Structure 1
Amino acid sequence: MLVMFSGATTLAWPSPALVMLKSNDTSENPLGMPIQTIEVSLLVGVPFFIAIFGSLFLPKLSDLVGRKGNLQILGIAMFINILGVAFSTRIELIIIFLSIGTACFSALYTVIPVYFTEICEDHNRAKYGCVMLLFLPLGSLYTYILGTTCSFKLFTILTAVPLIPFEILCLFAPESPTYLLSKGNRADCISTVEKLRSNKSQEELAEDFNKIMLNLQAINRNVKPSFFAFSKTKEGRVGYLLSIVPMVIRSTSGVPIVTSLLAPILNEAGTNISGDTGAIIVGIVSALCSVFPCFVVEKFGRKALLIPSTLGVGSCTLILGLFFYLKHLQSPLCAHLQWLPIVCVSLFMIFYFVGLGPIPVTIPGELFLSDIRSVGVAFVMASSAIGLALIAFTYPLLAEAIGTYWCFWIFSTCSFTGVLFIYFVLPETKGKTIIEIQQILKDF
């Protein structure tokens, strides 16, 4: 949970940081001069591009050192690189350290769903996944608050602090029972299952252990795991496609831009409050509403939350685009609508955290068998990172070239198109075992 919190600070870091880096005040700006538009694109876009490699290669360590061991290694690497950002005085160094730190978090973002899928029971996989993602808006809020009260260096250092208790608590966390059994550690697997489900009887524990054994037997198909192992079966190919599309919808909804550039966007909108203050308000709203999916995702299912969530997100970006268009036309209406951007962004985050934020991340961990889960989820996250990198890099340039309003209308179009896919194509996995899900994919 804490690593998700700290990872969110990395993703939200550009929002307050860019306000400082655009300043002419050398006591506030460590670069000594305002950052240029192309440098903004590189600062926001390059980390997402490097994250592609983090998603593809670093999660493979999970099959060598275990899910828990990989989480610890990646957490330490994140900590070191965040400190590197804090003490950098050149934009090139900031981009390099931020990129490596983001790559580590991208890998963590890939490993954590696998870990949760393997330690949780079938009926509460998505619920715990949503609880995990609750820490993303909390991390963003933490970043927005620090950015308004601390210097660049102190603010950046403090974003790394949550990784310290994370590393300590990791020492006491259990290893994945699926991983333990796959390595032949039967006794350790049984012991871990007993600790994770201490409220169950011996018969129920034996049944859970047998499920793990059956899952491992189901994946023993003489397919040697590789970077493309998921493509060798129909279930793997369909699982990949059904996993990547919700992630792409999520990425193209505009959330990476709203999260990373929230303060600059609100400043551009010309609201009657500062961008940093507006970011804190939006952060509080996001943190409060992100609790909702934790309690309802297993009751209503994935699709029932994804559809209204995506529709709401698309509607908010459509209205934001209209506001920026009126501002471009210098319409007198803008003077009476200064409240609209902050309300729209707040509603955007509410709709996002109701479904489109947490649910797509839990889907890949459910659709792949454990022998290819690490690789399959890694490819899904890497493919998603490609979209994130393109959006993050091109947005500042496109906003300057064609206008902010066109960018938000593009986000809106992507969201509305995504609703059609979710409704007509995406299967429901609520309460189903991994074997039942694989049969759905096989019959797809």
Structure 2
Amino acid sequence: MLPICKAPRFKQYAIVLIVNLGVITTGMSLAWPSPMLVKLGNETESPLHRPITDEEGSWIASVGALCNTFTLCFLGMLIDRIGRKYCVILTCLPKILISIIFIFAKEAWVLILGRAVIGSADFFLFTAVPIYASEIADKETRGSLGTLLQMLSSLGIALTKSIGPFVSYTTYSIVFAAMNLLVAIPVLFLPDSPYYLFSKGKTNQAMNTLTSLRGSEELAKEELAMYSVAVNTEKVNKIKLLKDRVFLKSLGIAIVLCIMSQFTGFNAVSYYLQTILVSTNTNVMPEVASLVISLIQILAAICAAIVTDRWKRTHILLSSFIGIFIGLVALGLFFKLTEEKQEVIGFLNYLPMISLIIVIYCYSAGIGSLFWVLVPELFDGPGRALGVTIAMVVVSFLIFITTKFFPLLTMAIGPAMTYWSFSIICVISCIYVYFCVPDTNGKTFNEIQKELSGEEAREINEKNAK
């Protein structure tokens, strides 16, 4: 297991970084619609027999998320059956195959089908990686390591925004296939998560892995004891688990986090970023603005990694939603002014780009990064795979809704009202986070479960009574 890495803490960072490399390709495929829909709709650049229609474009952008609502239903079982590590490797194979098919595709339906498969693989990866990372990391590094997912996803998005507009559709497909192959190979040499090994009765392997990761046999034994409690407590069928009060409370918080993260409109803005920038009719080049915004997203993810284990999770979330609210209000204001035939001069040329930078920075530095940290933290033991899977099904469905109907919504009520509607969700999200979301920073999974069950509050009250 990574013999080059001697220090336990460094070993954790190295393992989680390697398993997150696949997320770069997920970022690339998430950003794919931004430059490629422009090419596919252009008569001279489209590799198809004809340019795609707006309806076909909306299906190409959103179909992957729709398929996830069905395929992810089986992922919890698969993650527990074959392990987190092999699930990560498994996601790369269909993406390589579909990339090759895309090179020779001449019909829009082939792209829609291919995007459905790639989208399902991406969300499979987004389910397995946070679970793996949370089980490799100790409680002190779990937050910062969890934010690597958003950081490397942002890097993948930036790669697409920097390469996509300037190369042909075919060249990009070749680059994407090569990237998937490159990131899959190192994962083969990683250990599976110690919790998974323990749950499969491989106690000695789990002990060796934990000793290597925690730096001492004593710490490893303590963690194995917690695994034993979790496995014995939660070795029930899924139906019984869904009747457990603490699990349902965790699931409820996770689902609301899903709704809040998606109805800020980030994915709608991200998928159609270049199209939005073209529609502003400003002097700023859409391709350049799109790249700048993507680089800002990487910076935001790095900032999230720095502050996640230093600040309260709830404070970061509140700051995130307030920032997104400001950006969306400003973006809506720009489109309202253009609807009223206000001349776009001076500062107004840069208002859309500045607004989008604020939205994307605040999302990536806040809810976009913390979502992948918080959701796995809310669940304990075998319930984690089921809980995260259900959360991902909800996220997938909401991404489909926002990306499929975003163009229709902007046509129906106008872009200004669309962005202002998203901003209202940010206000509601702030209220929910303040009153309902527990702070998990620096806590073990057992401590988080105690807080969710109210046991921690009872213990404090008993101490005060004495």
Q: Where in structure 2 are the equivalents of 1:10-409 lying within 5 Å?
A: 10-25=29-44, 28-197=45-214, 200-220=215-235, 223-224=236-237, 226=238, 228-333=239-344, 336-409=347-420
Q: Secondary structure at the match of 1:357?
A: helix
335 and 296 in structure 1: CA distance in 2 versus 1, 3 angstrom threshold: closer
- State the alpha-carbon separation in 2 of the partners of residues 414 and 358 from structure 1: 18
Report the CA distance between 1:286 and its aligned residue. Answer: 1.2
Which residue in 1 is equivalent to 2:437? 426
Report the CA distance between 1:350 and its aligned residue. Answer: 1.3
Report the CA distance between 1:202 and its aligned residue. Answer: 2.9
Q: State the percentage of identical aligned residues.
A: 27
- State the alpha-carbon separation in 2 of the partners of residues 431 and 415 from structure 1: 26
TM-score (norm 2): 0.90
Q: Deviations over 1:69-95 (max 9, x none)?
A: 111112212222233333322111101
- State the alpha-carbon separation in 2 of the partners of residues 85 and 17 from structure 1: 12
- State the alpha-carbon separation in 1 of the partners of residues 74 and 240 from structure 2: 14
Q: Which moved more, 1:183-192 or 1:327-336?
A: 327-336
- State the alpha-carbon separation in 2 of the partners of residues 202 and 159 from structure 1: 42
User: Which one-letter code corresponds to 1:165 in the other structure?
Assistant: L
Report the CA distance between 1:131 and its aligned residue. Answer: 1.9
- State the alpha-carbon separation in 1 of the partners of residues 51 and 413 from structure 2: 23
Q: Secondary structure at the match of 1:232?
A: coil
- State the alpha-carbon separation in 2 of the partners of residues 210 and 121 from structure 1: 15
Report the CA distance between 1:334 and its aligned residue. Answer: 5.5
- Contact 2:149–2:372, Cα closer than 8 Å, also in 1: no
- State the alpha-carbon separation in 2 of the partners of residues 303 and 355 from structure 1: 10
User: Which one-letter code corresponds to 2:331 in the other structure?
Assistant: L
- Contact 1:229–1:372, Cα closer than 8 Å, also in 2: no
User: Which one-letter code corresponds to 2:27 in the other structure?
Assistant: A
Q: Which moved more, 1:333-342 or 1:63-72?
A: 333-342
* Structure 1 unmatched ranges of 5 or more: none
Report the CA distance between 1:336 and its aligned residue. Answer: 4.8
Q: Deviations over 1:327-384 (max 9, x none)?
A: 1221125665011111111111111122111111222211112212111111111012
- Contact 1:230–1:375, Cα closer than 8 Å, also in 2: no
Report the CA distance between 1:400 and its aligned residue. Answer: 2.0
- State the alpha-carbon separation in 2 of the partners of residues 295 and 94 from structure 1: 39
Which residue in 1 is equivalent to 2:5? none
Q: Secondary structure at the match of 2:232?
A: helix
Q: Secondary structure at the match of 1:134?
A: helix
- Contact 1:113–1:129, Cα closer than 8 Å, also in 2: yes
- State the alpha-carbon separation in 2 of the partners of residues 157 and 54 from structure 1: 26
Give the alignment's Cα RMSD to 1 decimal: 1.6
Q: Which moved more, 1:170-179 or 1:74-83?
A: 74-83
115 and 125 in structure 1: CA distance in 2 versus 1, 3 angstrom threshold: same
TM-score (norm 1): 0.94
- Contact 1:323–1:334, Cα closer than 8 Å, also in 2: no
* Structure 2 unmatched ranges of 5 or more: 1-19, 456-466
- Contact 1:54–1:104, Cα closer than 8 Å, also in 2: no
- State the alpha-carbon separation in 1 of the partners of residues 447 and 221 from structure 2: 20
Q: How many aligned residue pairs are there?
A: 436
Q: Deviations over 1:86-141 (max 9, x none)?
A: 33221111011011110111111111111111111122212101123210111001
- State the alpha-carbon separation in 2 of the partners of residues 334 and 417 from structure 1: 34
